Amino acid sequence: MLAQILVLGFFPAAMAYAAASDLLTMTISNKLSIALISGFYVVALLLGLSGSAIFIHSVTAFVVLAISFSMFAAGWIGGGDAKLVAAIALWLGFDQLASFLIVASIFGGLLSVSLLAVRRFALPGCLLGQSWAQRLHAPTTGVPYGIALAAAALMTYPHSAAMKALAGLAT
């Protein structure tokens, strides 16, 4: 029961929080990344994932973290995005990594183009007093890529080892 609640609720809720946080504040909390990492290991143990599967998921996350931190150091992505993508990779594992990254790239491109298009127009009056909307509308502000990462993670998650293991428990 606890495994089902965690698999079906924790990761999707964390992704919703990541997207909302990035939209409203342009930050992704370190606490969220730590919770995702901790949550994965709890879920993996509850579901009985093999030690080799947990190791592969961990190596996948470490490699993604190394690459994403290189991108952060180059100024291409934010630090919160770098940590979030690694935490997502931990949950999805190597077998879903390519699918996730492709979907995230597509969603991120659509988000970027849409945001650039919206920024060409004046901010609607009802949003003028909203600091998050003003920040998001400013041409010097980046793109809250955590939204794309979270959406891509939710699209890919049903094919993850955790969901497959849960399906095995249900039968």
Residue 171: the pLDDT is 42
pLDDT confidence of 88, banded at 50, 70, 90?
A: very high
pLDDT confidence of 169, banded at 50, 70, 90?
A: low
pLDDT at residue 40 is higher than 80: yes
The percent of residues above 70 in pLDDT, for the chain, comes to: 98
pLDDT in tens, 124-137: 888 888 888 888 88
Residue 3: the pLDDT is 77
pLDDT at residue 51 is higher than 50: yes
> Average of pLDDT values for 140-153?
94
pLDDT at residue 166 is higher than 60: yes
> Average of pLDDT values for 110-128?
91
Which tokens belong to 11?
């990761």
pLDDT in tens, 4-31: 888 889 999 999 999 999 999 999 999 9
- Average pLDDT of the residues of the chain: 92
